[in-house]
Every structure is written in structure tokens, then in C-alpha cells.
Amino acid sequence: MVSMSSIKKIPGIKKYLTNSPKETLRLGKRIAQWLRPDDILFLSGELGSGKTTLTRGICQGLGIRETITSSSFVIVSQYQGRMKVSHIDLYRLKESDCTGLPVEEYYMAGGITIIEWADRFPQFLHRIVPGIYISMRITKPDQREIIIEDLRN
């Protein structure tokens, strides 16, 4: 495990442990520093593992002032910061629904796309699309293991 203080860049695969929502927010802000136009982030992890919290941190890091809500009832929300962000939440969709979903149409051209529950979409599960793949796991009530794989081109 690497501690929060060792986060400087994201080469290959990195594992982080956060011990509070605040630390997860902070990790999100750090991730934001490494994002470039057209990047896509694929977030996977059980209910309550912190996907939306991390998304909030990323958005704050991109200078978005709006409150990021857990968009369980909305598939796509868009925000404007230093770059535009498209926040996609596939929670409501079963895998069969996802297969036909034209998710590419929701990608933010020239901006950042963040997809929650990406593992519900087969092509993301198999890491076919280049991007940053983030898996989150509840390890203790207030602790999250966050694995980041940078598979961008």
C-alpha cells in the first residue's frame, strides 16, 4: 500500500487506502491534476464504496463549484469547470440494458468523462476502451481500497 503523501503521478497500477471520505476527496483532486482533454475514467466498486465521493473530488479538482449528486436516477449529468465533465451513472441499468446503450454519445468531447458502475458495461469490464480504470472496495467502515490503472493511450 502507498500512503496518501506518496501520490505524485499515476504510472501503471497504483493502490491507495483512504481512511475517510475527506481523504477520498483529496485523492480525487490529485487525480484531476493528471487529466487531459478526452480522458475517460471507469469507476467500479460495490454500493457505497465511494465512487461518487471520488467523482466529487475530481470535479472539485477541475474547478467545478456545483454540488455533484449521486445521479442514480439520471444517467448523465454535465458540469463546466477548467474542463467540461460528463458524469455517467449506470447504476439503474442492468447489464442487458447497457449492451445497447450508446454510451459513446455521452462522452465529453474535449473534456472528461466519468462513468460510475462501468463494470456493468461489458466493453469497459474487459478494458477495451483506453482510459483510467478505478476499482474501489470497502475494507473497513471508513476505509476504502482504491486501485487505479492508467490505461490511457
Ligand X SMILES: Nc1ncnc2c1ncn2[C@@H]1O[C@H](COP(=O)(O)OP(=O)(O)OP(=O)(O)O)[C@@H](O)[C@H]1O
Q: Give 67's DSSP letter.
A: P
For the CB of residue 72, give the shortest distance to Mg ion in the complex, in Å: 7
Give the total of residues touching Mg ion (CB under 5 A). Answer: 3
Q: Does 57 bind ligand X (CB under 6 A)?
A: no
For the CB of residue 19, give the shortest distance to ligand X in the complex, in Å: 6
Q: Where are the alpha helices (DSSP H) in the chain?
A: 21-33, 51-61, 95-99, 122-125
Q: Does 50 bind ligand X (CB under 6 A)?
A: yes
Cβ neighbours of residue 31 closer than 8 Å, sequence gap 6 or more: 10, 41, 54, 57, 58, 61, 132, 148
Q: Does 48 bind ligand X (CB under 6 A)?
A: yes
Contact 31, 16 (CB under 8 A): no
Closest alpha carbon to 32 in 145, 146, 112, 130: 112
Give the total of residues touching ligand X (CB under 6 A). Answer: 20
> What is d(CA 124, CA 31) in angstroms, rounded to the nearest whole number?
20
Q: Does 69 bind ligand X (CB under 6 A)?
A: no
Q: Does 143 bind ligand X (CB under 6 A)?
A: yes
Q: Which is nearer to Mg ion, 10 or 53 (CB)?
A: 53
At 119, which amino acid appears?
A: D
Cβ neighbours of residue 118 closer than 8 Å, sequence gap 6 or more: 42, 43, 44, 90, 124, 125, 133
Q: Which is nearer to ligand X, 18 or 86 (CB)?
A: 18
Q: Does 47 bind ligand X (CB under 6 A)?
A: yes
For the CB of residue 1, give the shortest distance to ligand X in the complex, in Å: 13
For the CB of residue 82, give the shortest distance to Mg ion in the complex, in Å: 23
Where on the chain is the footprint of ligand X (CB under 6 A)?
Answer: 18-21, 23-24, 45, 47-53, 70, 91, 116, 142-144
